[in-house]
Structure 1
Amino acid sequence: MGVCEIARVFDVSHSTVVNLKKKWEEFQCIDRKVGSGRPKVMNNEEDTRIVDYVRQNPFSTAEEARCAVKLSISSQTVRRRLRFSGLEARCAAVKEILTDAHKQARLVFAQKHVDKSVDFWKTVIFSDEKTFSSCPNGLVTVYRPQNLRFDPMYVKERGRSGRFSVHVWEWMCAEGLGAIWKIDGNLDGMQYVSILENIIMPSVRILYPDQFIFQQIIKIGQG
């Protein structure tokens, strides 16, 4: 394996792998000499406190965690201890708030269609309204282990208030994206029918001149 691949697999820096390689080639050993290196500024009890706090409050920052646990150390030291414990600051998945009814409806749909063939899905047109909104809070980070991006504990839920929004209607299928249309004001029945007749159907017929399945995505609570 190359140096870059080793660094990626073990989640360490390129220079760390290079230095260990040189040390092994010279001394056939990678152990640190007794008494060398900078002494730890945190004991095991303090390590446990800071890690436990962040595991219970994954959206807190290193500085917030340091203040909450009342440790006289730097935020950089906190980040190093968290990284050593497998908690890396990562970009959080941001999703709309889902009720239990939303989750149950999605589960029922998935279970009903899980055995459908690829050929079936190639005939399906998915269409939905989408709102693109500005976000006043910027990037959201979370301390979490690897491969748990969509674990509910590490997903940031968001509401719809306090944002500038643009409403559009679009469709997609196995062949790719279809037409997109900006919605003026609230989407009412007349505008919906007009979009179907003048925007959706003409563009769909280009790919599906004969038959297709129109799958309208309905959110719980909507008509």
Structure 2
Amino acid sequence: MSAEAERRHGGARVGRAAFSLVLIALAGAVLVKGVAFARLGAIEWGIERDAAAGTAAPAAPARAEEAAQLRAAVAPFLDEAGLRDKARLLSFRAGRRLDPPAANGVEEIAAALAVDPVEPAAWMDLAELTWPALALRPTSMAAWDLSRLTGPYEYAEMMRRARFLARRWMFASPESKRALAYDIAFLRRFPDPFLHSWQQLLAPLPAAQRRVFLEEVGAAP
């Protein structure tokens, strides 16, 4: 074999070896991503399992401790390509289970909504978080509307929207007031557990505000 042929042959061997190393590295990266994705999937399954369990779910302190552990578990993946969307959504959902719920910042809420724009709890978090800033109150009320649009018949979110708007009744638009009146009329068909939740909602309202609120939602005694 000539020197030129040997050189070409050697170059081909080096090329094949380099290509093999690249394939091995890629396979390793895929394996690592796969394991991480499986871990996130297990966390997601755990959250969904507890949500489906309802009254059989752990007590609040244990649930809050588990939620803190879940947020810590997904934290390393919040900025990792290919995993960050699921990680950010899971972190947000786990934060809702803390006692009290995590004070999710606008960035965390935005990250969750970018992954799942039909998450009503995220829209209500945004409504509550932006309300104190006078300039953002239109955003807050728009987020309230979007929570109702994305989760119209989720009991926990229905009551959360009712509490929010009842305390800010004078600022609500006629459309939002009509929407809440409709929701309350719907909920009153199911007195248990609505009546207890309703009493808790009304109790902290000033008497004059409570009277106006009850009259305008058509629930006056």
TM-score, normalisation: structure 1: 0.26
Which is richer in strand? Answer: 1
- Structure 1 or 2: more helix by fraction: 2
